[in-house]
Amino acid sequence: METAATGPTFRDAVDSDVDTLVALIESAYRGDSSRGGWTTEADILQGQRTDPEGVRAVIKSPDSRLLTVERDGQVVACCQLEHRGDHAYFGMFAVSPRLQGDGLGKVIIAEAERTVREEWGATEMHMTVISVRDDLIAWYERRGYRRTGRMTPFPYGDERFGIPLRDDLQFELLVKELG
């Protein structure tokens, strides 16, 4: 008899998670492995999505948490939560490509919103999404996020963020009011 997978557990990342989290984030966004899920950026960016230094900086920052999600003892997802006064920033969101489309992302974002509301008193969640990612933006809109039209430039020339395959990339701010 097969047993169902247990629900996700949430904890803050620690230094020993860095390599696992870098591999997870890379697998969700870059290269052929990312094509197994729908969040891939492989058609618009090559190169790295993050690096150990970037992940470690989030873990160490006093205003950030890197929420790590485990299922059956394995790290399967993560997201960055950063306290910015009356709002929180949501970033570095990655779900293992083999689990994308199973509803885990909805559970994680709901937990992230609950966490920042209860622990920091945040009244809004902010995030930035590459503006050409229509499918991803639509997913966030279904979760209550709204497009603001406020754009920031993509860091062309900074390979820490990837090597763009197109010249029209920019980030759009999405915002959700937290009840």
pLDDT per position as a tens digit, 77-99 = 999 999 999 999 999 999 999 99
Buried b (16+ CB within 10 A) or exposed e, 31-41: eebbeebebbb
| Phi and psi torsions of 4, nearest 5° | -70, 150
What residue spans define the domains of the chain?
9-177
DSSP string, the chain: -PPPPPPPEEEE--GGGHHHHHHHHHHHHSHHHHTTSS---TTTEES-S--HHHHHHHHH-TTEEEEEEEETTEEEEEEEEEEETTEEEEEEEEE-GGGTTSSHHHHHHHHHHHHHHHHH--SEEEEEEETT-HHHHHHHHHTT-EEEEEEEE--TT-GGG-EESSS--EEEEEEEE--
Q: Is the pTM of this model over 0.95?
A: no
Structure confidence at residue 139 (pLDDT): 95
The pLDDT of residue 4: 54
- Whole-number pLDDT of residue 1: 47
Question: Span 9-177: which CATH code?
Answer: 3.40.630.30
- φ/ψ (deg, to 5) at 81: -125, 125
pLDDT for residue 115 is more than 70 = yes
For 28-72, what is each residue's pLDDT tens digit? 887 777 777 777 776 788 877 788 999 999 999 999 999 999 999
Hey, what amino acid is at 96? S
- CA separation, residue 140 to residues 2, 15, 63, 106, 172 (Å): 34, 30, 24, 9, 12
